[in-house]
Amino acid sequence: MKQFPTLAETVYSNRIYPVIASVLSTITSVFRFSLDDLFYFILIVTPLFLLVFILFKKLRLIVAGKILLNILATVYILFYLLWGFNYYRSPLQERLGIKDRNPNTEEFVQFLRQYIQNVNALHCSFDILDKNLTDSLIETCYKNLAPALNFDYPMGKRKDKKITISGFYAKTGISGYFGPFFNEVHVNKLVLPIEYPYVLAHEKAHQLGVTSEAEANFYSWLVCSNSSSQQVRYSGNLFILLHFMRQAYGLEEYKSLAEQISPEVKADIKTVRDHWNKLRNATMDKTASKLNDAYLKHNNIKSGIKDYTGVVDHVMNFSLDSAFQQRYGLAPF
């Protein structure tokens, strides 16, 4: 698959995976709890059970070893068959037909100044957030943007489920994840209301066969930006602003750019940062980041966890590609 991305795109991602996603997600949506969480728990305790059988001489060591290796091999194969081959599909620019602009520093700074103004204007309250309505709004946007994002809607059901042990995941900085074995979208129940639309749209992108974190961030941003809800638009644009500011760090203009962000937006950023700093365990977070980095690099994402920030290029490429916008009736941002 890695040697033939066109094959992965046309055969697996466009024909086989949509069927898998539709069937699996429809079946697992019947269960209100996370089947993926349960599956991972069983995988973790299986070696312990095998060890007990060995200690009580119910199994020989070599037999237990073969059982464990067969389980791991089966899980590895299922991962790729059920979702993982999407890692080898064509890159976003090719799939969507967006031109790679490679803007210079001056264009980047000019773009970011305008983007900050837009985020400032979008600021709104999140004292009340209807999660069911938010899910419906995001689904509507995915449906409307399906031609532009080049997928056949609906590709199954994407109603999110709460992570069973959200507190543990929060210690590692994980706000959500997509479970490939049962095609389930998960959002950490500890995410703040202001984060929820962006995280939900991001995890839904993974369910649609998007593996790159940068691409999932882009899908989330584009979907949120085209919502009729100001809360959804603000959530999506706020978190992409953080990626832009990280990219801008070190530039001479960084200080003036930071000063341009309104006090209200800065307060929201601080609230989110403080919230996760209280939940996060430094050691667990660092370990999880290293594991995620290795996992992504193993699966054709050469930049590893740095891939998340690649959304900046995707957003700018889209916003500067007027032909693509006109083709689908979309605004720059």
Q: How confident is the model at residue 223 (pLDDT cuts 50, 70, 90)?
A: very high
**95 found inside a domain:** yes
Long-range contacts of range 147-152, CB-CB < 8 Å, 24 or more positions apart?
Answer: 147/328, 148/96, 148/222, 148/324, 148/327, 148/328, 148/330, 149/96, 149/208, 149/219, 149/222, 150/95, 150/96, 151/18, 151/208, 151/209, 152/18
pLDDT of residue 151: 97
Residue among 226, 238, 164 nearest 195 (CA): 238
Q: How far is CA 319 from CA 33, 165, 223, 229, 230, in A?
A: 39, 39, 14, 21, 20
d(CA 135, CA 262): 28
d(CA 104, CA 112): 12
pLDDT of residue 302: 81
Task: Indicate if the pLDDT at residue 306 is higher than 80.
Answer: no
**35 found inside a domain:** yes
Q: How confident is the model at residue 303 (pLDDT cuts 50, 70, 90)?
A: confident
**HSE, side-chain direction, 13 A CA sphere, residue 66:** 5
Residue type, 97: G
Query: Coil, helix or strand for 182?
Result: coil
Mean pLDDT of the 233-242 span = 98
Average pLDDT, whole number, for the chain? 95
Q: How confident is the model at residue 38 (pLDDT cuts 50, 70, 90)?
A: very high
**55 found inside a domain:** yes
Residue among 225, 224, 181, 182 nearest 199 (CA): 224
Task: Indicate if the pLDDT at residue 304 is higher than 90.
Answer: no
**Interval 6-19: pLDDT, tens:** 999 999 999 999 99
Task: Indicate if the pLDDT at residue 333 is higher than 80.
Answer: no
β-strand partners of 177: 186
**311 found inside a domain:** yes
Mean pLDDT of the 149-159 span = 96
Task: Indicate if the pLDDT at residue 55 is higher than 90.
Answer: yes
Q: How far is CA 318 from CA 92, 99, 271, in A?
A: 11, 8, 30
Q: How confident is the model at residue 1 (pLDDT cuts 50, 70, 90)?
A: confident
Q: What is the pTM of this model?
A: 0.96
**45 found inside a domain:** yes
**Interval 238-248: pLDDT, tens:** 999 999 999 99
CA 165 to mean position of chain CA atoms = 19
**57 found inside a domain:** yes
Angle between helices 230-248 and 196-207 (to 10 degrees): 80
**333 found inside a domain:** no
pLDDT of residue 102: 84
Quote the number of domains for the chain: 1
**159 found inside a domain:** yes
The owner of tokens 């620019």 is 93
Mean pLDDT of the 296-311 span = 84
Task: Indicate if the pLDDT at residue 278 is higher than 80.
Answer: yes
Domain that holds residue 259: 5-328
The owner of tokens 């009340």 is 128
Task: Indicate if the pLDDT at residue 229 is higher than 90.
Answer: yes
Q: How far is CA 60 from CA 42, 46, 67, 74, in A?
A: 21, 15, 11, 21
The owner of tokens 């900085």 is 173
Q: How confident is the model at residue 301 (pLDDT cuts 50, 70, 90)?
A: confident
Q: Is the peptide bond before 147 cis (omega within 30 degrees of 0)?
A: no
Task: Indicate if the pLDDT at residue 181 is higher than 90.
Answer: yes
d(CA 83, CA 298): 15
